[in-house]
Amino acid sequence: MIYAIGDVHGQIRHLETALVRIWKDGGPDATIVFLGDLTDRGPDSCAVLDLLAGERASHPNWVFVKGNHDRMFQWYLEPVPKHDLRLRLGLSWLDPRLGGDATLRSYGVDVREGRSQRDIHADARAAVPTTHINFLTDMRLSHNLNDLLFVHAGIRPGIPLRKQKEEDLLWIRDEFLNDDRDHGKLVVHGHTIVETPCHCGNRVNLDGGAARGREILPAVFEGADVFLLTQQGRQRIPAISHPRETP
């Protein structure tokens, strides 16, 4: 059995609930793949990274796939903040729409309007522990396991998996979401919010909207079957053709 957790977005309580459900279903040594976007928007990004970075050594079967928000946070913490070119000019990671402001507040950084960007950046570099920076840096871009491919956003259809570009793995949407061809493996991803995690035949989307405060529903993959772990127990995910997905 393989478990996966979609976008967390700084929601520590929802993450803890998801982990408890996995432990009850598969035990404390369960293999878990985290699909990225651990940080931003929610109130507790610091606590999320504290938990996962702290548990990483004792859970070698936990795999952490990097999301675009994790990379934006990592890039912001460089000596000179690096701007993601996928963001339009003038849109900063600190903008509430992206949620970097909430992430820094979780570390106790004052991000109130009127403070200089230089001071905020200096305070952030002083406040975020090296263990968190190393954790973000070490996150992988994808994970192959049996007939499953775990990525954050998706893949570029028609391109061999070994030739996929980092930008697509972190950011792709429509070209991937609207493609119904067989990708060779079942692609398990997050990044694009759905009303509830869904199975689309060639892919499974596990971003159930934690960025908007919704609960995190972990998935379990057992053979060809995919289940969500809900408060009531396992719930099989039926394959559908056109899920409702929103950026």
Task: Return the percentage of the chain with pLDDT > 70, whole number.
Answer: 97
Helix axes 45-56, 12-26, angle to 10 degrees: 30
Q: Is the pLDDT of residue 215 over 90?
A: yes
- Residues 137, 147: Cα–Cα separation, whole Å: 27
pLDDT band at 161 (very low <50, low <70, confident <90, very high): confident
Strand partners of residue 233? 230
- Residues 102, 67: Cα–Cα separation, whole Å: 17
pTM as predicted: 0.94
The DSSP output letter for 88 is: P
Q: What is the mean pLDDT of the chain?
A: 94
In sequence order, what are the residues at sequence separation of 6 or more whose Cβ sits closer than 8 angstroms to the Cβ of residue 231? none
Two tokens at 226? 């995919």
Q: What is the CA radius of gyration of the chain?
A: 17
> What's the average model confidence in pLDDT over 47-75?
97
pLDDT band at 223 (very low <50, low <70, confident <90, very high): confident
Confidence (pLDDT) at 246: 56
CATH code for the domain in which residue 175 is found = 3.60.21.10
pLDDT in tens, 80-137: 999 898 898 789 999 999 999 999 999 999 999 889 999 999 999 999 999 999 999 9
- Total count of domains within the chain: 1
Q: Where in the sequence is the domain holding 71, given as residue range(s)? A: 2-246
Please state, in angstroms and as integers, the Cα–Cα distance from residue 214 to each residue in 154, 193, 217, following that order: 22, 11, 9
Please state, in angstroms and as integers, the Cα–Cα distance from residue 75 to each residue in 2, 72, 85, 87, 148, following that order: 31, 5, 12, 13, 29
> What's the average model confidence in pLDDT over 51-74?
96
